[in-house]
Amino acid sequence: MADPTAHALPHHWSWFSLLPDSLQEALHEASATAGALVADPLGRDPHEKWFFGGHFDVLHVWGLMFVVLLLLFVGGLTQARFREPSAAVVPDDRLTVPTFAELFTGGVLDLMTTVMGREAAKYFLPLIGTCAFVIFFSNVLGLVPGFLPPTDNLNTTAAMAIIIFVATHVYGIKKQGLWNYLKHFAGPILALAPLIFVIELVSHVVRPVTLSIRLTANMFADHAVLGAFLGLSAAAFFLPFPIAVYFLGCIVVTVQTLVFCLLSMVYIGAAIEDHAHDHH
């Protein structure tokens, strides 16, 4: 008797799995080479995933490339729309791609202004805004049947979290100076300075870990739940069934983008804030 699961799709599959084998192998080899450059103290195979286990795949890389290309397309349309200031003053009478980009960017800037202040918001908008666009579009990609969200892979989210971590401390030192920045880690009480310094150091090191794992875990769970309900819907031939789940998925997509960017604003805002008055 034939195995009924013989023609079942693999658990971790997307439309990018249909790309030519030559492209898949090239990216696999590049990933394996990059992984071999980092010594693994656990002695794991460089092809293994970092977080959820299983055999390593590069589908999240293809997904992120697709998102970047999509954002370049959105950016091109938006730039063309606002190239002529006289025409850009009059808003469109419907929701277009440039209008969406304008509203999205304005919303991010308003939130950053509330958290960080006007000047800091304008300065860090390229960084936080890019994270917001990439995370949001990556999350939304997971709502499309046959696609996996790049943000359900720890490699993707960890890369963004590390960038935020580095930017936080680089701009904190640039703003306050190395000595004043380190003094903030010691706290206002000299006797407790060694203990406070260790606690602050650990809390800062943990930040990129929590940022990346929180986003990855939530998007992985959201995509798994959505996939399960879509499977039930297809089996029952009742297509409207997963509408409520799609609605919840849209909420998760938006909230997780907001959480990552909001925490990034808080971290950077606290790092560049002048704490000199705290020690008087």
pLDDT tens by residue, 6-38: 433 444 666 666 666 666 566 556 555 544 444
Higher pLDDT, 67 or 274: 67
275 HSE (CA, 13 A, CB side): 20
Minimum mean pLDDT range among 127-136, 246-255, 271-280: 271-280
Overall number of domains in the chain: 1
Q: Answer whether residue 74 is part of any domain.
A: yes
Instruction: Give the range of the structural domain holding residue 74, as residue numbers without chain letter.
Output: 48-279
Is the separation of the CB atoms in 66 and 138 below 8 Å?
A: no
Higher pLDDT, 186 or 4: 186
> φ and ψ at 48, to 5 degrees?
-80, 155
Percent over 90 (pLDDT), the chain:
45
Burial class (CB in 10 A: 0-12, 13-18, 19+), 275: middle
Is the separation of the CB atoms in 181 and 279 below 8 Å?
A: no
pLDDT > 80? residue 217: yes
Instruction: Find the farthest-apart pair of alpha carbons in the chain and give their distance in angstroms, rounded.
Output: 82
Helix (H/G/I), strand (E/B), else coil: 55: strand
Structure confidence at residue 237 (pLDDT):
55
pLDDT in tens, 88-123: 677 777 888 988 999 999 999 999 999 999 999 999
Q: Answer whether residue 167 is part of any domain.
A: yes
Q: Answer whether residue 40 is part of any domain.
A: no
Q: Answer whether residue 28 is part of any domain.
A: no
Is the separation of the CB atoms in 148 and 12 below 8 Å?
A: yes
Q: Answer whether residue 93 is part of any domain.
A: yes
Structure confidence at residue 90 (pLDDT):
73
When pLDDT is averaged across residues 179-183 and rounded to a whole number, the result is 89
Structure confidence at residue 157 (pLDDT):
95
pLDDT > 60? residue 234: no
Q: Answer whether residue 243 is part of any domain.
A: yes
The candidate with the shortest Cα–Cα distance to 31, out of 155, 138, 150, is: 155
Q: Answer whether residue 150 is part of any domain.
A: yes
When pLDDT is averaged across residues 181-198 and rounded to a whole number, the result is 86
Structure confidence at residue 107 (pLDDT):
96
Q: Answer whether residue 154 is part of any domain.
A: yes
What is this structure's pTM?
A: 0.80
